[in-house]
Amino acid sequence: MAAFERVQIDPQPLSGTEKVDLTVEILGSKLSMPVIIPPMGSHGLAHVSKEEGTAKAAHAVGTLMLTSTQSNLSMEEIAQHNPGPKWFQLYAMKDRGVLRELLQRAKAAGYTAIAPTVDNLFGYPREENIRNEFRPPRSLGKGNAPRSISDPAAAIAALDARKRDLNWDDMEFIKKESGLPVIVKGVLSAKVAAMAMKRGMDAVYVSNHGGRAFDGVQATITALPRIADAVQGRLPIILDSGVRRGTDVFKALALGANVVACGRPVLYGLALGGSLGAQSVLEYMRDNLALVMRLAGTPSIKDISRDNLAPHVA
Ligand SMILES: Cc1cc2nc3c(=O)[nH]c(=O)nc-3n(C[C@H](O)[C@H](O)[C@H](O)COP(=O)(O)O)c2cc1C
């Protein structure tokens, strides 16, 4: 969030901009705005409606949510509450049979892209969680446990057994097996982005997991310009971690992102007001971005570029 504050907008008054168009298209999904909900496990921690609340909010606003492998409801139930565009986040598991099963389920349920998360394989210690003795409550459910394993405990264990030596061959396997576009989530390096292009991936998702997977790495808005330079517009770029306002969205788009995701604020909205609470956070992001675009003098998303930022003053 501090890194976002260091980027400054160069407004263009007298550009005659009043009407603004926030719509975007990414990987074939048409969205009302360039703000989506990132994959977050266990929405049941926030509200009894679990992912039903957030899925309905995404649909009401005309944007998409990534369903997490670690959702409480099943990916099929979540899809029913959001008939619009949707993507599935994948924590690739060790067992290829289980992995295949999940990919097939996602495709059959109408998910149109798979986002393997590559930055959270080793359970980085979250000191606050340790101090608070936080454990995700099992009672909330694990909707994506494989159905081919009849014993519930064994099914959950198979879902949670992540492949820790994940590599580019796995990414290609996921693409081939699913037949869907693959979004590599958790990229902070231009080299990794270049490799994603080389290995036929379909989008780069710049994320540091909201600062939850590895201390000491860059803020995403700091990493973004080099990644955008490497990608040169050949792959769409999604960015999250610390996006809180329309100004943050605008800055990320100006530096090369096509779409951004806003995580915890949506969950806090869900906690406070269920589906309508989550929806109100998304509406705030939309309306605030529209205002920023008017003030900056950019009538549509494609008009937003590095020219709309002030030169960096150290
Ligand atoms: C409660 C919670 C659960 C999350 N679970 C997942 C997950 O299952 N898969 C994943 O790829 N990222 C997960 N993330 C990371 C988000 O996808 C995203 O990168 C991050 O929340 C963005 O930062 P922000 O919350 O500052 O907007 C989780 C984040 C939170 C806060």
pLDDT in tens, 264-305: 999 999 999 999 999 999 999 999 999 999 999 999 999 999
Output the CA 149–ligand 1 centroid distance in Å.
27
CB under 8 Å to 258, separation ≥6 — which residues?
24, 26, 34, 236, 237, 238
Please count the CA atoms within 13 angstroms of the CA of 86 that sit on its side-chain side: 28
Q: Alpha-carbon distance 65 to 80, whole Å? A: 13
pLDDT for position 124? 87
3-state secondary structure of 253: helix
Continuous segment of H or E residues that includes residue 184: strand 183-187
- Whole-model pTM? 0.97
Residue 314, pLDDT > 60, answer: no
Mutation choice for ligand 1 from 90, 126, 184, 209, CB with most ligand atoms inside 8 A: 209
Nearest to 31 by CA among 223, 285, 230: 285
CA of residue 41 to ligand 1 center, whole Å: 7
Identify whether 209 is a catalytic site residue: yes
Q: Which atom of ligand 1 is nearest to the CA of 210?
A: 23
Residue at token pair 């800055």: 251
Q: Are 293 and 11 in contact (CB under 8 A)?
A: no
Q: Name the one residue in this structure whose structure tokens are 């989008």.
A: 203
Enumerate residues lining ligand 1, CB below 6 A. Answer: 38-41, 68, 70, 89, 117, 185, 207, 209-210, 212, 240-243, 262-264
- CB-based contacts of 20: which residues, under 8 Å, 6+ apart? 290, 293, 294, 298, 299, 300
What is the average pLDDT across 235-241?
Answer: 98
pLDDT in tens, 157-192: 999 999 999 999 999 999 999 999 999 999 999 999
Residue 75 has pLDDT above 60, yes or no: yes
- Of 84, 16, 73, the residue nearest 50 (C-alpha): 73
150 CB contacts (<8 Å, ≥6 apart)? none
Convert the pLDDT of each residue in 12-31 to its tens digit. 999 999 999 999 999 999 99
Average pLDDT over residues 197-220: 96
Q: 174 with 92: CB under 8 angstroms?
A: yes
In DSSP terms, 162 is beta-bridged to: 93
DSSP class of 238: E
DSSP secondary structure, 51-67, as one string: HHHHHHHHHHHT--BEE
Instruction: Name the residue with tokens 């003053």.
Output: 313
Both tokens of 203, joined, read 């989008």
Please calculate the CA angle 223-286-300 and round it to the nearest 5 degrees.
Answer: 75
pLDDT confidence tier of residue 313, bands split at 50, 70 and 90:
low
On the question of pLDDT at 87 being above 90, the answer is yes
Mean of all residue pLDDT scores within the chain: 96
Residue at 82: amino acid letter: N
Q: End-to-end distance of the chain based on CA atoms, in angstroms?
A: 17
pLDDT at 71 over 70: yes
CA of 131 to the centre of ligand 1 (A): 20
Q: Identify the helix (H) or strand (E) that includes residue 96.
A: helix 96-108
Using DSSP's 3-state secondary structure scheme, residue 24 falls into strand
Q: How many CA atoms lie within 13 A of 30 on its CB side?
A: 1
